[in-house]
Amino acid sequence: MSNYAPFIKPYVQYNEHGWGPCEVPDLDVPYQPFCKSDRLGKICDWTVAVQEKKFPNKYASTFGNNSQYAYFHEDDDATFHLVDSTGSRAFKPFQRGRYRPNIRNNVRVRGRTGRGNALLGLAGGHTAGGGMGNSPKYGKGRETRRNVGRRFARNAPTRLRESSAMVRSNWVSVEEIDFPRLLKLTLPNIKEGQDIVTCGSLEYYDKMYDRVNLRNEKPLLKMDRIVHTVTTTDDPIIRRLSKTMGNVFATDEILATIMCCTRSNYSWDVVIEKLGVKVFLDKRDNAQFDLLTVNETSLEPPMDEAGSINSAHSLAMEATFINHNFSQQ
């Protein structure tokens, strides 16, 4: 028994007024907030594999993210500043797949064929005679794909607009050119345009109309003048020029309509008359070439009746008269 070391009983302090030792002084250890769901791997972040860089907040703490919890040992009072009451948004910890159900080994969800496409149907899936479920090819999945985008009217069907001319059955189609081909159409050896005749005159324009705003208003005066909107064959100047030069003739409205055909949504037609070797591009008497468009870029045209003041024709007439009066101020 003398070969063994003596057993000395340790001294245990008895604290009558609390819990813990009595003679150990208090240490100024700052409080660090924590969360029980945080992962214990912060000290080994330098050993993280490459694929973990996709989730940099995997081992981050939910609490203590704001700078107000950070400890800075500074004794200088000159850097004193008020606490920002707005704070910063705390990021959520890494919880990928935390509440995702495990359907790999779930027979009821997968079905008899082992396919996981019968979540909303019966157990067999669409290949085993059961419910079709939410498959993208069968059942409800097809309707879901059709309704994508209808909330914001992106895929809403466009309403067919009224045709400018009634197509007859005895008409013969000579050639059809689609819009992509017409948009990329280029003609070689096109020279610069030249002014052959200058007609008309310009009157004085009041520049005060360029500075019109909500505070500086100016009423639009009505002008009782005739605005000539003739077609190509009725224009006296084009008639006079066709006797000496040129082979193809058209007015400015007809040329502008043809150039904008790839972007226009309105139906229009041009009457082509050939007199010998001369070609004239004319418009019909009831054509809408001279009127401004109404709701051309909208999905649905105005649904008001033809005689209403809010119909498409009435609004186009009003906008055209305003532009004519504005040019004569």
Residue 208 lies inside a defined structural domain of this protein: yes
Nearest to 226 by CA among 89, 321, 88, 319: 321
- Residue-range definition of the domain harbouring residue 268: 179-187+195-327
The pLDDT assigned to 219 comes to 84
- Torsions phi, psi for 281 (to 5 deg): -95, 110
Q: Is 224 helix (H, G, I), strand (E, B) or coil?
A: coil
CA–CA distance, 41 with 47 (Å, rounded to integer):
10
211 and 296 belong to one structural domain = yes
113 touches 125 (CB < 8 A): yes
CB atoms near residue 231 (< 10 Å): 21
Say if residue 58 is exposed, middle or buried (CB neighbours under 10 Å; 0-12, 13-18, 19+).
middle
Structural domain count, the chain: 3
Nearest to 43 by CA among 19, 59, 55: 59
The pLDDT assigned to 88 comes to 55
54 touches 80 (CB < 8 A): no
The pLDDT assigned to 123 comes to 42
63 and 146 belong to one structural domain = no
216 and 303 belong to one structural domain = yes
Boundary of a domain, candidates 100, 135, 168:
100
The pLDDT assigned to 167 comes to 84
301 and 183 belong to one structural domain = yes
- If you write DSSP's letter for every residue of 116-175 in order, what string do you get? S--SSS-TT-TTTTS--TT-SSSTHHHHHHHTTTGGGTSSPPPPPPPPSSPPPTT-----
* Structure token digits, residue 308: 């209403």
> Alpha helices, DSSP H only, in the chain?
107-110, 140-146, 179-183, 236-242, 252-259, 312-327
- Torsions phi, psi for 280 (to 5 deg): -120, 130
183 and 311 belong to one structural domain = yes
CA–CA distance, 263 with 297 (Å, rounded to integer):
9
CB atoms near residue 142 (< 10 Å): 14
pLDDT in tens, the chain (329 residues): 567 888 888 888 788 888 877 776 677 777 666 666 666 555 555 555 555 566 666 655 555 555 555 555 556 666 666 666 665 555 555 555 555 555 555 555 555 444 444 444 444 444 444 444 444 444 555 555 555 544 555 555 666 677 888 888 898 988 888 888 888 888 888 888 888 888 888 888 788 888 888 888 888 888 888 888 888 988 999 999 988 888 999 998 899 888 888 888 888 889 999 988 899 999 888 777 888 888 877 767 667 777 788 888 888 889 988 888 888 87
150 and 241 belong to one structural domain = no
The pLDDT assigned to 71 comes to 53
279: Cβ contacts below 8 Å, ≥ 6 apart: 247, 248, 249, 272, 273
- Which residue do the tokens 């906008």 mark? 319
Boundary of a domain, candidates 100, 115, 137:
100
219 and 95 belong to one structural domain = no
